[in-house]
Structure 1
Amino acid sequence: MSKLTREILATRLFSDPKHYPYGFGRSGDFSISESKILQQRGSLIAALVDGKISPENEEEHGYLEAAFGHREPVTPAEKAWVKYQQRIHRPRAASIYGSKKAAVMDAEDDVNDDDSPLDIDVDDD
């Protein structure tokens, strides 16, 4: 496998087919400018964050500081990357159909206890 260089990373378009299968621009999460920035600089920032390459200038150090939360993002690229990270690491919404654990809890709730204060004895006298 060839070693990744800055020149290759600078020209490689970044995509995330797992989280954004139709691209950043069509997701509704990012503006047009943010999606362009992610496509153009995302490969370089991802390599920096993953530790595949080391930062060489102040701009790259800024990417790392913002990505790891050591300071607020300042540049548009830093803001777009932090927004991307927040979007892919957000908690997933629950299904409207519930979950298996909830179904198990419902089954346990249906069991009638003899000591329940809501039990009413109706006599047919």
Structure 2
Amino acid sequence: MTKLTRESLLARAFSDTKNYPYGFSRSGDFSISESKALSQYGCLIAALADAKIGPENAEDEGYLAAIHGQKAPETAAEKAWVKYQKRINRPKMGSIYGSHRTSLSDDEDTVVEDSDLEIEMDD
């Protein structure tokens, strides 16, 4: 197992195929600069957020402060990450029609008999 370093994380491109299967730039949620910042710095910021690595410099500490809401995001990467977190953690919209198809219970079953139907036919 390789040890995670800041340089190895910056060399990786970040992607989220679950929430953004076609990429950040094609989602419509992010601008071009935001999608580039997420792709470039996303692995590093995710590792910092999950405490897989510790902050090595002031930039990393700034990422952590922005992630935890201790300061307003200032850099493009911080702004993009905060926006990304808001997008993936937003509540899912429900349907006004419900999530399940309703079925008739035994009490609601209606039986139509032939005597109930009146069909007029002209000869």
Which TM-score applies when normalising by structure 1?
A: 0.77
Q: Counterpart of 1:54? A: 54
Q: Which residue of 1 aligns with 2:69?
A: 69
> In structure 1, what is the Cα distance between the partners aligned to 2:82 and 2:102?
37
Q: Specify every segment of 5 or more residues in structure 2 that has no aligned partner in the other structure, as ranges.
A: 109-123
Q: How does 1:1-125 map to 2 (within 5 A)?
A: 1-100=1-100, 103=102
1:14-73 C-alpha deviation (Å, 9 max, x unpaired) = 000010000000000000000000000000000000000000111110100111111111
TM-score (norm 2): 0.79
Over the aligned positions, Cα root-mean-square deviation in angstroms equals 2.0
Q: CA–CA distance in 2 between the matches of 1:90 and 1:7?
A: 31
After TM superposition, which residue ranges in structure 1, 4 or more long, deviate above 4 angstroms? none
In structure 2, the residue corresponding to 1:8 is in which secondary structure? helix
Structure 1: gaps (5+ residues): 111-125
Shift of 1:76: 1.1
Q: Figure out how many residues of one structure are paired with residues of the other and give that number.
A: 106
Give the whole-Å Cα distance in 2 for the aligned partners of 1:30 and 1:99: 29
Higher percent of residues as helix: 1
